[in-house]
């Protein structure tokens, strides 16, 4: 019976979407707990930037992310590549069954992912190469963090879309000693993506 098969597919998508949301929230909570006890060379420094400057930098990063999205979509269309994000399409599909995903997109992902990739991966390699030159201490860790972030989101196909803003975010984190601009930029990008998904 085709209707039973369709209902079974809907139920499976619903359950997997809910389980994915719960996993994201648990990861978010764990990331917050880890973030509390930071003792690395970047985060032990108190930021010298005012909250206003951090917010402005975050808004700037969000604008860069959004503009970069348009640049990459344009370049992909020129060279005849399809610019559809599997990550975005699966989110759009899951939103039909799971409104908890809105919290994940706007809160858990911006905070949890920035902790994981900036404080986690970037800082891990930054500390290993602490006594080395700028390339090993900053550029390489930023690249590894950004590349990992890109691959996790959409595989190798859309690495150019994610890697540049994520790389810039690592440099911002290093220079401000604050995750606030990265989280805010990530939030603004996800917020626009959510609006476009809901009204497309």
State the pLDDT at residue 123. 92
Task: Measure the CA–CA gap between 151 and 56, rounded to whole angstroms.
Answer: 28
pLDDT in tens, 162-176: 999 999 999 999 999
Q: Mean of the pLDDT values across residues 24-44?
A: 70
Question: How sure is the predictor about 2, in pLDDT bands with cuts at 50, 70 and 90?
Answer: very low
Provide the whole-model pTM.
0.83
- pLDDT grade, residue 1 (50/70/90)? very low
pLDDT at residue 4 is higher than 50:
no
What is the C-alpha to C-alpha distance for residues 40 and 28, in angstroms, rounded to an integer?
20
> According to the model, what pLDDT value does residue 32 have?
67
Per-residue pLDDT band for 107 (boundaries 50, 70, 90) equals: confident
Contacts of range 138-141, beta carbons closer than 8 Å, 24 or more positions apart: 138/170, 138/171, 138/174, 141/170
**For range 107-133, the mean pLDDT:** 89
Whole-number Cα distances in Å, 134 to 39, 129, 137, 171: 21, 9, 5, 12
Token pair belonging to 110: 């911006």
CA distance 23 to 108: 11
Q: What is the pLDDT of residue 21?
A: 64
């Amino acid at each position: 019976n085709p209707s039973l098969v369709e209902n079974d597919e809907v139920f499976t998508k619903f359950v997997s979407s809910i389980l994915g949301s719960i996993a994201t929230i648990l990861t978010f909570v764990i990331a917050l707990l880890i973030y509390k006890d930071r003792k690395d060379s970047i985060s032990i420094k108190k930021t010298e930037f005012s909250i206003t400057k951090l917010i402005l930098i975050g808004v700037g990063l969000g604008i860069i992310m959004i503009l970069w999205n348009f640049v990459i979509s344009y370049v992909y269309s020129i060279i005849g590549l399809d610019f559809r994000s599997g990550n975005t399409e699966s989110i759009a599909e899951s939103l039909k069954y799971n409104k908890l995903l809105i919290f994940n997109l706007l809160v858990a992902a911006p905070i949890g992912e920035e902790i994981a990739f900036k404080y986690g991966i970037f800082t891990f390699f930054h500390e290993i190469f602490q006594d080395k030159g700028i390339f090993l201490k900053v550029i390489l860790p930023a690249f590894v963090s950004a590349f990992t972030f890109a691959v996790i989101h959409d595989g190798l196909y859309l690495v150019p879309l994610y890697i540049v803003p994520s790389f810039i975010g690592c440099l911002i984190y290093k220079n401000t000693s604050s995750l606030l601009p990265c989280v805010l930029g990530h939030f603004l990008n996800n917020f626009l993506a959510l609006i476009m998904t809901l009204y497309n």
